[in-house]
Amino acid sequence: MTPNPLIGVLYHWLGGLASASFYVPYKGVKRWSWEIYWLTGGIFSWLIAPWFFASLQTQDLLGVLGRAPGAAKYWPVFFGLLWGFGGLGYGLVMRYLGLSLGMAVVLGLCTVFGTLIPPLFQGDFHEKLLATTSGNIVLLGLFLTLVGIVIVAVAGAKKDAMLTPEQKQAAVAEFDFRKGIVVAIFAGIMSACFAFGLAAGEPIKALSAAAGTGPLWTGLPVLCLVMFGGLITNGIWCAFLILKNRTAGEWLGRTRNGGARPPLLPNFLFSALAGTTWYFQFFFYTMGESQMGRLGFSSWTLHMASIIIFGTCWGFAFREWKDAGPKVKAIVWGGIAMLIIATVVIGYGNKLALATGA
Residue 222's pLDDT is 95
Q: What is the pLDDT of residues 125-182, one digit of tens each?
A: 666 667 778 778 878 887 887 788 778 778 877 776 776 666 655 555 566 667 777 7
Cα 126 vs. chain centroid, distance in angstroms?
A: 27
Give the model's pLDDT for residue 129. Answer: 66
For residue 225, CA distances in Å to 168, 189, 279 come to 39, 20, 13
Backbone dihedral region of 3: left (phi > 0), alpha (psi from -120 to 50 degrees) or beta?
Answer: beta
**Which are the contacts of 134, defined by CB distance < 8 A and separation ≥ 6?**
295, 349, 350, 352, 353, 356, 358
Where does the pLDDT of residue 233 fall: very low under 50, low under 70, confident under 90, or very high at 90 and above? very high
pLDDT tens-digit readout, 195-216: 788 888 999 999 999 999 988 8
> What mean pLDDT comes out for the span 110-121?
66
User: At a CB cut-off of 8 Å and minimum separation 6, what does 27 contact?
Assistant: 318
Q: Rounded mean pLDDT of 340-346?
A: 78
- Evaluate if residue 122 carries a pLDDT over 70: no
Q: What's the pLDDT score for residue 266?
A: 95
Spatial separation of the C-alpha atoms in residues 276 and 44, rounded to whole Å: 6
Winning range, highest mean pLDDT, from 14-23, 129-138, 235-244, 259-268: 235-244
CA-based R_g, the chain, Å: 20
pLDDT at residue 98 in the model: 64
- Which pLDDT score is estimated for 357? 57
The residue among 247 and 145 whose pLDDT is bigger is: 247
Q: Answer yes or no: are the C-beta atoms of 18 and 305 closer than 8 Å.
A: no
